[in-house]
Every structure is written in structure tokens, then in C-alpha cells.
Amino acid sequence: MFCLSNPWVKRVNLYLFDFDGTLVDSAPDLVRALNLALAKAGLPAVSLADGTRMVGHGSAKLVERALQATTGDPTITADSPLARIVLAVFIELYGPICTETSRLYPGALETLEALAARGCQLGLVTNKPREFVDYMLRPLGLDERFQVVIAGDDLATKKPAPEMVLHALQLLSVPANQACLVGDSIADLAAAQAAGVTPILVRYGYHGDLDVDASGVRVIDQLTELVEPV
């Protein structure tokens, strides 16, 4: 049995969602913790706008991008000694504040409820570390919404690699042509395409350098468009 869907997505049984920038506006808390970690390393802060553009590929990549920007050294990688130290501090500082200002985007909860009522399965596939995902789901009212949750440190690879998406499909025994991934970044787009599921992008969120309107895939202004009448 397949749940009802928009014509852009045929025979969908499983909706996979990204977290940061798709379901949850978490950038203010992320950037605040990032700046606290940078300050402890004697480095300047990044603006909320610049920090938001760095979000979407996991905590290590966030720190890498911030260090490249604040030191002016484009050769810094997530494996560099400085990046490892700043990442450890960031993780320590982010936990206590990760839900201070983070909020669901308008229509997120209603959309999940409507999809579930139609018989769709729901999954969360995020590059965010498991520790923070588990901590944030309950305060946001998302703790019992998903049949599967794949976090950024559950597997050896993260989005844009397809393994997280493929793992979700395997756990729920859903073929790729019956699933879609809703996200906001190039990591989501690339992971969906590599896994063979239908990509859907939100026009809000944390796009980085991605021009969603030039992506060639379905783009929605708000999540409630996923449950509008066919």
C-alpha cells in the first residue's frame, strides 16, 4: 500500500527528512557554540549568516570551514590538529545549548502527522551526531515521529555519500523508487541521487553554494506542500 503523494513523487511509501535546515532551524545555536569554540582558540567569531552557510555536512566540516574562514588558511582540514581540538570544544559546548533557540520550521509537525495518517513511513537522515539528535528530538516533539533515524556518526560515511539513505531503505525494506529525501543542501541532493531516491529541496534552509532553483528537482517553499491535495 502506497501513501498518497504529489505528482512529482510517484508511489512514495517512505519520506526521509534531513534535520538542520529542513525540519529544524538550528543555525543560531550551532553558530553560537561554534563561536564559543573559536574564541577559546583565540580566533574571531563568524557571523550568523556566514556560519549558517557552513552548516550541512556535519560538525567536523562545520569546524573546518570556520577555521579556514577565520584563519585565512584554506589548507586546514577536519583532520588537522587545530580542527580536532576546536571540534572537541564545539561538541562539549553545543550539547547544553543545542535546543535553546532551535525551532521547528512552520508546518513541520503538521506535515509529519499528515504523512503518517496517510500511511507513509517516515525517516530522519542527518549528518548531525547521534548525541545531539537524540537530545533534541524530544524537546522538539519529534521523538516518536520516525520509523528510522540515521545520524551522522552511525555509519562510516555521511551525506553526500549514499550509504545513510541506503541503510534507511534497507532497515525499512523499502525500494529506492518508493522513497524520497527532503532536504536543503547539496549533500541531501547528492545523497538522494546517488541512492536512487527522489530528491525534494526546500527553498528555505541552509543551502550553502547550492542554487536550489537551478537544481532540476522539485523545490517547495514549505513542508506542507508535501501533503497538499494531488
Our answer to whether residue 213 is catalytic in this structure is no
- Which H, E and C letters describe the chain, residue by residue? CCCCCCCCCCCCCEEEECCECCCEECHHHHHHHHHHHHHHCCCCCCCHHHHHHHCCCCHHHHHHHHHHHHHCCCCCCCCCHHHHHHHHHHHHHHHHHCCCCCEECCCHHHHHHHHHHCCCEEEEECCCCHHHHHHHHCCCCCCCCCCEEECCCCCCCCCCCCHHHHHHHHHHCCCHHHEEEEECCHHHHHHHHHHCCEEEEECCCCCCCCCHHHCCCEEECCHHHHHCCC
Task: Indicate which residue of 18, 25, 184, 188 is catalytic.
Answer: 18
User: Which residues are designated catalytic?
Assistant: 18
